[in-house]
Amino acid sequence: MDQDFRVKLLEFVKLALIEDVGEGDHTSLSTIGKSKGGEAKLLVKEYGLIAGVDVALEIFNHIDSSLQVEVFIKDGSRVVYGDIILIVRGNIHSILKAERLVLNVMQRMSGIATRTATYVDLLKETNTKVLDTRKTTPLLRFLEKQAVKIGGGENHRFGLYDMILIKDNHVDYAGGIPNAVQNATIYKKDFGIDIPIEVEVRNFEELNQVLACKGVDRVMFDNFTPEDVKKAVKLVDGQLTTEASGGITLDTIKDYALAGVDYVSVGALTHSVKSLDLSLKAKLI
């Protein structure tokens, strides 16, 4: 876990606890003595791929550094019903304060990692990589993109600041692809910005315009059929990195990979994923 990720995580945990705990966990405070100790097992309730264990450790530590956590299953591991991911021991109030935040984060991340692994597994015999998108939950993007990596996928740009991605609206507003690319290259030079330029194309006419431009690093084939992607990849002929995007499903992703594209981006990795069912089972000690 790098420092930038940890800083984002700790800020997230602070805000999440304010949202959830507020002035205090009145249920625990009113029913359980403050000094009581206990343990809880984090249990798997369905098949999947686990993500968020390292994040859970940071959450437990932030809430109460005296909590002792024994980890049995690490991030990226495949699990089945009944598996025990970890056991946390210590103050019951601290365990209960962490419970919902840990579960919410791990269930969401594990669902994304599981979905990503399903796509990645289909491309094992190809050279094509699976990419995520910016179709993420606001302020949870860093966790969701981390889950994609744990599932075997790769991250596209994190936000609007680390890549120039010229899409259809940019093209239309700029007055065409040549104008948009020229403006972007001048902007990079004027501000000393060293980030790649990618251009989305909707048809072969736009693709030929991109190939005639200087300064482009990657081209995205938007809503192309696998057959058209194959033709487009041949036309690019290694001049640019290639990416296919738009409505790609588990049923079609391998067809796109076999067309020779370098990357396939899939919004469904994060925008509509089902969380993995996990639970925290308490026990007095």
Stretch 28-48: mean pLDDT: 95
Torsion over CA of 223, 255, 247 and 196, rounded to 10 degrees?
A: -60
Q: Give 40's strand partners.
A: 88, 282
Q: How far is CA 125 from the centre of its chain?
A: 23
Residue 285 pLDDT > 80, yes or no? no
| 284/215 Cα distance (integer angstroms) | 64
pTM: 0.95
Q: What is the mean pLDDT of residues 187-192?
A: 97
283: confidence class by pLDDT, cuts 50, 70, 90: confident
d(CA 20, CA 111): 22
Q: What's the confidence (pLDDT) of residue 284?
A: 80
Catalytic residues: 100, 135, 167, 200, 222
pLDDT of residue 1 exceeding 90 = no
Rounded mean pLDDT, 90-112: 97
Q: For 257-282, give one letter per residue: b (16+ CB within 10 A) or e.
A: bebbbbbbbbbbbbeebebbbbebee
Q: What is the largest CA-CA distance in the chain?
A: 72
Predicted local confidence at residue 237, as pLDDT: 97
User: Taking 80 as the threshold, does the pLDDT of residue 212 lie above it?
Assistant: yes
> What percent of the chain has a predicted confidence (pLDDT) above 70?
100
Mean pLDDT across the chain, nearest whole number? 97
CB atoms near residue 205 (< 10 Å):
9
- Angle at which helix 3-21 crosses helix 92-122, to 10 degrees, equals 130
Whether 188 has a pLDDT exceeding 90, the answer reads yes
Which two three-digit tokens encode residue 158?
A: 């994190």
